[in-house]
Amino acid sequence: MTSLDDARVGSQHHTTGVVHLQDVRVTFPGGGTTGPVSFTVEPGERVLIMGPSGGGKSTVVHRVIGAIPHAIHATAHGHVCVAGRDMADQEPSDIAGIAAVVGQDPWASVCFTRVEDDIAFPLENAAVPPQQIGERVRAAAALAGVGHLLGRATSQLSGGELQRVALAVALVSTPQVIVLDEPTSMLDHHGIADVTRAIDHVQEHTGAAVIMVEHRVDDIATTSGSGALPDRWIVLDEHGAIQWDGKAGDIGAPTAAMLLAQGCWLPTDVELLALFGYHGGISNPAVQRGIRAAAEVTVTPVVGVAPDQPRTALLAENLSVAPPPRHRSTPRTPVLADINLAFSTGELTAIVGTNGTGKTTLLRTLAGVETPVSGVVRGPRGGLVCQNPEHQFMAHSVRAEVGYQQPVGCEARVEELLAQFELTDVADRSPFSLSGGQKRRLSLAAMLAHDHPFLCADEPTFGLDRRGVSTVLGSLRDHAASGHGVVWSCHDMRAVAVFADRVVAVTKGRVLSDLTPWEFFSDAALVAVAGLAVPPLVGWAASAAGCAEEFRHLLGTVDALARTRAHDSVEVAV
């Protein structure tokens, strides 16, 4: 384990790694600066880069692959070396066969209309003999879990499916360095397992180094075991400087508390170690007693609107939905059929299911963006928060985006939303220049400004750190409590358990269940039929609680404690 100064000193003596950064800082035209960062990655090593949204994690990735300064306009300082090449002299294309990257935005990486053509592109660029390309494409697709998508149009894929295709593209050229920028952000737990297996397989056969930027570390640890996470963690602070660099196995209670205070998502075992001081996670009886004791003195938010407040309904009647066809003459094949659901103001309803089950299409249809194949949607048209935030940006600045098409006199409301979603400091920047987490928060703030009776939010927690998730879902809860309806999709089952009033599970073209979170997560067999998994903490709370209110209170207590600690200032001697 090293402090920042130690990391600088250590890197000066270990310059033989496949990736080496020395005193790297980046200054953007708007004045923001990240760094300094110094570290070395050895061949075959796996490194996890963590930190708050907007703290420079993706900036480090862009510096490693040469996108900064050669493709992204910014001033780069310090030294970066990849596989013996000085990146000051290398364009990203110069190291395409050496370093592969899976970007934060899966839509941005799509180059062709067919999946197999997208995967083949790096091989064609490298002049691989045509007779070898087909076999290598099929092997990479199988490794990433997208063999069944070969032959499909990229425009017809969900965000999670595109994310796995992007992984196949990265793996097909067998690089020396694999850079993964939030590779699981849109994946269900099957997709997470595919990604971790693929990384393990490639490392086993090629010895490639892996640099992973990730928020969903708990989902990875829960789905594939704690060994699926990189052993070495580098934690950046909000300014992009290294706060901690060490082995995950060396983390004790003080260090865990510091990591939580940085706003990082942590594996549940590490989070509970930070909160209660005991190893062993939720299976440790001492941790369970700690949660129960804290629950006795913790007040969690009251859910729902006042009984006498009028309610409005959004109805789906005999509804069948399908994504838009590639061509007008192409018939639309429903991804979900025979839907009969009633959504009410005052409620947060979570739509859950595996990748490609039609969650996005259902939300877009409820919001009036897509027309039903059959059936009808009755009720007020909802506002839509897109899965890809950039798809809804219309203005030249963050402030103008929140105030877009708002009436005169709304300035105070705009400033209130900017502050609520921690966007005041970037209010004059272009929405497209923000980090992924900042874009996500902006997309929600801009839609809340329009005050639709219903809000349809597609993966509103995608790309957010712990504090961002708390801010966004807390705002949605407040929005519902003020008399609005919220329908949202999410792969984070713990967030669903804490914040949702109802859980609608979809699978195999139909609605599987419509239950309270306590009812849903208490039935592990039903969750498995939906293709999902119950997180251990949620499973314990479901079995320990005697009712839905107690279930929510136990989980809400852990979240409340974590939020409190995340605002604490913690000093750790490392």
- Residue (of 222, 162, 181, 89) closest to 537 by Cα position: 222
Secondary-structure percent of the chain, ordered helix, strand, coil, rounded to 5: 45, 20, 35
Split at pLDDT 50, 70, 90, the class of 8 is very low
| CB neighbourhood size of 8 (10 A) | 17
Average pLDDT of the segment spanning 400-424:
90
Split at pLDDT 50, 70, 90, the class of 224 is low
DSSP codes joined into one string, 60-121: HHHHHTTHHHHTS--EEEEEEEETTEEGGG--GGGGTTTEEEE-S-GGGG--SSBHHHHHHH
In a domain, 293, yes or no: no
What pLDDT is stored for residue 228 in this prediction?
74
What CA–CA distances, in Å, run from 225 to 164, 189, 204, 402, 541?
A: 20, 12, 18, 41, 20
In a domain, 402, yes or no: no
DSSP symbol at 153: B
pLDDT at position 465 over 60: yes
Beta bridge partners of 99: 177
Show the tokens assigned to 138.
Answer: 């099929």
In a domain, 108, yes or no: yes
Helix axes 130-144 and 115-125, enclosed angle (nearest 10): 130
Instruction: Assign residue 173 the CATH number of its domain.
Output: 3.40.50.300
In a domain, 204, yes or no: yes
- pTM for this prediction: 0.82
Question: Mean pLDDT over all residues of the chain?
Answer: 86
How far apart CA 217 and CA 536 sit, in angstroms, is: 14
Q: Using an 8 Å Cβ cutoff, are 50 and 236 in contact?
A: yes
DSSP symbol at 2: B
How far apart CA 202 and CA 208 sit, in angstroms, is: 7
**Structural domains in the chain (count):** 1
In a domain, 474, yes or no: no
Helix (H) or strand (E) run with residue 340 in it: strand 336-344
Q: Kindly report, residue by residue over 63-107, the tens digit of the pLDDT.
A: 998 888 888 888 999 999 999 999 988 888 888 888 888 877 777
In a domain, 70, yes or no: yes
In a domain, 105, yes or no: yes
With tokens 């003080």, the residue in question is: 254
How far apart CA 566 and CA 574 sit, in angstroms, is: 19
How far apart CA 193 and CA 361 sit, in angstroms, is: 25
DSSP symbol at 325: P
Q: Which domain holds residue 91?
A: 4-250
How far apart CA 388 and CA 524 sit, in angstroms, is: 31
| CB neighbourhood size of 388 (10 A) | 20
How far apart CA 258 and CA 368 sit, in angstroms, is: 45
Is residue 239 exposed (0-12), middle (13-18) or buried (19+ Cβ within 10 Å)? middle
In a domain, 401, yes or no: no
Q: Kindly report, residue by residue over 522-568, the tens digit of the pLDDT.
A: 999 999 999 999 999 999 999 999 999 999 999 999 998 988 876 55
